[in-house]
Each structure stands twice: as C-alpha cells, then as structure tokens.
Amino acid sequence: MIKKLSLVFQIAAVFIGTIVGAGLASGQEITQFFTTYGFMSFIGIITCCFIYIFIGSMIIKISIKYNLNSYNGLIRIVSPGFLGEITDILTSLFLICGAAIILAGSGALIHQYFHFSKWIGIFLMCLLSIIVLLRNTKGLMEINSFIVPSLIIVVLTIFFLYIFFSKEFISISYLKSIPFPKKHWYFSTLLYGGFNILCCSGVLVPLSNEIKNGKYIIIGVIIGAIGLTVLSICINFILLLNMPYILKYEIPLLYISNRFGKIIQMFLIAIIWLEMFSTEVSDIFSVTKTLEEKFKISYKKSIFLIILIAIPISQVGFVNLIHILYPAFGVVSIIFMLQCTLFYYRNFSKRKL
C-alpha cells in the first residue's frame, strides 16, 4: 500500500515538475497568462486544472491501449496526416528550444546572482541533466520527488508571510476592483493549458508505457493537477495584489519576496534554478524518447545529441524564433486537444481500458 501511494505521489511530482518550470516558479508565466486578466484569472487557473485532468487521463489511456512510448507515437495515432507531422515537428522544436532557453537562463542566473561565468551555469545544468537522464524514468521521478515538495514549501511560505504581514483586509470585492490591462482570459487559458498538456505528453506517454497501470497514473495526474492549481492560485493571488508594479520585473515573485529578507530570496532563487533543471530534464527526456522510437537512435546517444544541439542554440539570439514558435505551438496544441478528445470518444466510448 505504501509503495503504491509513493508511486502515485511520485507521478504527481513529475507532472507538477514538468509543467512548472522557471516561468511559473518566478511568477512570470502566471503574470502573462493569468494575472493580467484580473479576477477572472482565478477561473482560468481552475479551468486549466480540468484540462490537465481530462486530457491527461485520455493520453494515459490511449498510451496504454496502443502501447506507445513517446509523444511522436501519440501524435501519429491521434492526428495522422499532414497536421500530425506539423504538430510533431513543432513539439520537438518547442522542447529543444525550451531546453536551450533553460541552458541560457541557468548561465544568466548564475552570472547575475553569483558573478560566475555563465558557462559554469550552463555546464552545471548539462552535467546534472546527463547524470539524472542516464537513470531514465527512475531519475526523472527521483529529482521531482525532491524539487516539487521544496517548491511547495517556498511558495506557500511566501504566500502566508504576505498574508500575515498584509495591512489591508483582502476580500473578493477588493480583488475584483483591481484594474487589469487584458481581456479574453479564456483564449489565454486554452493556450496555456494546451501547450502544457502537449509538452507533458512527452513524459506521460513513456510513464504509461513503463508503469502500465492507468489507474495509478491518472490518480497521480489528478493530485498533481490539483496541487499545481493550488500553487498557481497562491502565486496569482499575491501577484494580483501587486498589480501593476509586477509588470516591470522579470521575476515578479522575487520583487514580492524582497520584503521578507535575503534568506527567502535565496531560497526562491534556488527553487527557480531547480525548476529550470526539472524542466530541462523533462524536455530532453521527451525528445530522447521520440528519437529512440522514430529514428532508432539509442536512448543514451540521444541524450548527448540533444544537449549538443541545445548548447549552441542557447547562445544564439532566437527571440524572433520564439515569437513565431510559441503562438504556432499554442494553436496546434489546442487543435491537438480537440483531436485527442474526438479520438478518445470514438475509440473508448463503448469499452473500458
């Protein structure tokens, strides 16, 4: 029983760790996709929770039934033809660019706060990623079992400290009265939920293939989605109370944590780096499984190949590429969710897994 519970919570931790990344841990993603839409941002976050649970459960059941091992196999079945090829290519590009961005971010973070060469940050990220990835799925689950609880502790500490030292009474009517610059929160929610669940499929599919027990994986995803939602609501809550000042900062949570002293700040910086590390491992793991299945390149060789591709990309100014890639990936991820739902109900409506 304890072993089964441990497995469920490890899956939940992997799910949270794959989605969170440095963007969410720093508050930047929550700011861009939710906080700037005002009070309705909370509805958007809760909607994302349902997207993760329902689409995630479908992906798990499809993966087990068709014995899939990578997101490439999932896309090929759910979205055959030209659109599937485009989705597959964009997903691979998105994950590789994501890995490159994290390498660049690790170098920048180490240089900015510790004044070391950026190459130390890049080398450290590469080395630790290789060590963990060589342990395959076990390594992925082990690091998230440590990083995710640490993230939860730090975020909740900042949240409760903020509430405790807050001078004004915070009510729903007060939150509703806070001015916000953006409208159409529902489209932002679909984009965010869509590309997160498509990226997460790169981890969910191999996990489903290895564990084979859909029940435990789905329960893990449900717990992970709820945990992620609670964290996101806490972050969004304190970010919304600091509108519009947070819009000036690259790391909004660091701006908020300034008032609680250097120790909290250092813990937050450490968590941001660890979440970068967690996402780096998840991104490389996802693409590695696809290279292994699609091109028959061995798992170990694929790890080194992707890192060798990501390092030079991390040094190139690819802002324009990201501006094109992110919206395009967001659109295909919404289409993928619709196709996944249609495929599931056509093939699972009259039978159980």
**Can you tell me the distance from the alpha carbon of 29 to that of 196, in angstroms, rounded to the nearest whole number?**
12
Our measurement of the distance from residue 23's CA atom to the centroid of its chain's CA atoms, rounded to an integer in Å, reads 9
Q: What is the pLDDT of residues 24-70, one digit of tens each?
A: 777 888 988 899 999 899 999 999 999 999 999 999 999 999 999 99
Quick one: pLDDT at residue 47?
Answer: 96
**Can you tell me the distance from the alpha carbon of 155 to that of 305, in angstroms, rounded to the nearest whole number?**
35
Is residue 17 within 8 Å of 148, Cβ to Cβ? Answer: yes
Q: Which of 147, 123, 140, 115 is nearest to 276 (CA)?
A: 147
Is residue 285 within 8 Å of 140, Cβ to Cβ? Answer: yes
Quick one: pLDDT at residue 199?
Answer: 87
Question: Which domains occur in the chain, in start order?
Answer: 2-348 (1.10.4160.10)
- Residue 236 pLDDT exceeds 70: yes
**Contact partners, residue 328, CB within 8 Å, separation at least 6:** 90
Our measurement of the distance from residue 333's CA atom to the centroid of its chain's CA atoms, rounded to an integer in Å, reads 14
**Can you tell me the distance from the alpha carbon of 148 to that of 164, in angstroms, rounded to the nearest whole number?**
24
Q: Which spans in the chain are helix H?
A: 2-26, 28-33, 41-65, 71-78, 82-114, 118-133, 136-165, 172-177, 185-211, 214-240, 252-257, 262-294, 299-314, 319-348
What is the total residue count of the chain?
A: 353
pTM, full prediction: 0.89
Compute the mean pLDDT over every residue in the chain, rounded to the nearest whole number: 87
Intra-chain end-to-end CA distance of the chain, in Å: 23
Is residue 225 within 8 Å of 15, Cβ to Cβ? Answer: yes
- Residue 353 pLDDT exceeds 50: no
Mean per-residue pLDDT, 342-352:
77
Is residue 295 within 8 Å of 274, Cβ to Cβ? Answer: no
- Residue 180 pLDDT exceeds 90: no
Distances (CA, A) of 28 to 83, 216, 303, 313: 31, 32, 29, 22
Quick one: pLDDT at residue 23?
Answer: 67
